[in-house]
Amino acid sequence: MRPDKKVMDIQGTCYTLFAYDVGLAVNLEGAALAMAELRRRTPLGQKRRAPPWAEQMTGPLISSQVAPSIDLGICRTEPQVELVIYEFGAVSVTYTIPVQGSLENLVDISAMLGDAMALADDSRERVKHLLTAIRGAVQRPYVAMPMEDYAIFSLQLPAGTDISCLANEYGTIVARILRGERSALSTQESTDALAQRISYGEKDVTLADWHAAIVVGEDTSEERWVLEYANVELLELRLLDSKIDRNLDDAYIQFSQPERLAAKIWGALAGTDMHSIAQLQTDTAILYEGVHNSFKLLGDQYLARLYRAVSGRLHLSEWDASIERKMRTWDSIYQKMSDRASGWRTEALEWIIIALIMIETVPALFPGLFHK
């Protein structure tokens, strides 16, 4: 990577994303009936050739809202906000910010967006209002506190500019944009930030990192949708992992604490512990499968490659592995509690049988006790 030669002037749009969890699942058809303004997003894989058997993603619902422009100091948002509703219970809010001038100006914008509380607060309120409108179509509606943000810079370079110059000639600036760092980065860190670089044609490129991405091309909509989905998936996996942690702690406490014999017998007969764990297992499996099954890119190899690249930057595979490991732990706990409940039921039945035998035999052995 060569040192930056000069400052390059660019223009384009910064898309700032905020992802929220709003419930276990959303009935998109019901939501569309509740809000007439909602529309389906066009499925992915429409720009490039794909095999006829390709399985496409079912488009989520979109709500475009007129909104006051928000002053962020060094830039302002456009007076429009887009909300995207996913069927697995997530909403992504997108603000657009026009950008132009020196490429280095984007460094300050990227760093500022890492702590843009005005946008975070506004986006949360918009999600709450949306949830109120479609509450009847949402299973277990609730706006979770954690959220995930991401910035996408969709740029147009000066005419005749070689696309490779972003990494080769302006790599140190681009790396700071991708990391949201105002100060200079080491050569090693810059190289790592620029590692995920993907192109389909000679005039387009996507550079993706964990904080932000830069997308260059005539139509960058599908690349932006893939990045948006990856950000939403990260949020859902984080929340799911945290929920499993809490439930595992509760299950461990429940499993290890001593109980009275009556409570053991009643719990074994009623199956209360088993039912609660089975319900948690079901909810976890539904959400986990819903997140993964909602995004299918089998027909567009370029978008699939882009998704794998940004997934690596967001460590989605590591989150997947953690969740799958904990789900296996759930299975182990469920089996142990099932074995314990079976033992308690067997013990209870044995005592019942002993009591019945005593009721039958004692009067016969000691008739004087029961007759005058």
Distances from the Cα of 269 to the Cαs of 285, 349, 351, in angstroms? 26, 10, 14
Which run of H or E residues covers position 153?
strand 148-156
pLDDT of residue 36: 85
pLDDT of residue 270: 45
pLDDT of residue 53: 46
pLDDT of residue 269: 44
pLDDT of residue 370: 58
- The terminus-to-terminus CA distance of the chain in angstroms comes to 108
* DSSP character at residue 103: T
CA distance 294 to 296: 6
Residues facing residue 13 across a β-bridge? 98, 154
pLDDT of residue 259: 54
The residue type at 110: S
pLDDT digit string (tens) for 265-314?
545 444 555 566 666 767 777 777 777 776 665 557 888 899 999 999 99
Structure tokens at 100: 């132009």
CA distance 166 to 199: 13
Q: Where are the alpha helices (DSSP H) in the chain?
A: 28-34, 105-113, 117-134, 165-168, 171-179, 187-193, 221-256, 261-270, 272-293, 301-314, 316-365
Mean pLDDT of the chain: 83
DSSP string covering 3-14: PP-S--EEEEEE
Contact 248, 334 (CB under 8 A): no
* Strand order, beta sheet including 148-156: 39-40, 61-66, 80-86, 90-102, 9-21, 148-156, 212-216, 205-208, 197-198
CA distance 126 to 137: 17
pLDDT of residue 310: 94
Contact 254, 276 (CB under 8 A): no
CA distance 277 to 245: 13
The residue type at 370: F
pLDDT of residue 323: 84
Distances from the Cα of 258 to the Cαs of 253, 261, 335, in angstroms? 10, 10, 19
CA distance 191 to 49: 33
Residues of the chain with pLDDT under 70: 1-6, 43-58, 250-279, 281, 294-299, 334, 337-338, 340-341, 344, 362, 364-372
pLDDT of residue 20: 97
Task: Specify burial of residue 352 (Cβ count, 10 A radius: 0-12, 13-18, 19+).
Answer: exposed
pLDDT of residue 84: 96
